[in-house]
Amino acid sequence: MPPPHKESSEPKMHRLPSRFLWITLLTVATVVSTPQAASTHAAAPAIATLIIPKIGLHERIREGVGKAKLRRTIGHYPGTAKPGQVGNVALLGHRTTGRAPFRKLNRLTKGDSIVLKTKSHSFRYVVRRIRIISPSRTNVLNPTPLRPGRTPKGRYLSLITCHPKGSDAKRLVVIAKLVATKTTKQSKS
**46-60 per-position pLDDT tens digit:** 999 999 999 999 999
Three-point CA angle 163, 53, 106, nearest 5°: 15
Helix (H, G, I), strand (E, B) or coil at 139: helix
Calculated CA dihedral for residues 108, 157, 115, 76, nearest 10 degrees: 110
pLDDT for position 17:
43
Whether the Cβ atoms of residue 127 and residue 109 lie closer than 8 Å to each other: yes
- The CATH code belonging to domain 18-188 is 2.40.260.10
What are residue 123's DSSP bridge partners? 116, 181
Supply the pTM of this predicted model.
Answer: 0.76
- Give the whole-number percent of the chain exceeding pLDDT 90: 60
Residue 104, number of CB atoms within 10 A of its CB: 14
Residues annotated as part of the active site? 94, 162
Q: Using one digit for the tens of pLDDT, what is the confidence trace for 123-170?
A: 999 999 999 999 999 999 999 999 888 888 899 999 999 999 888 899
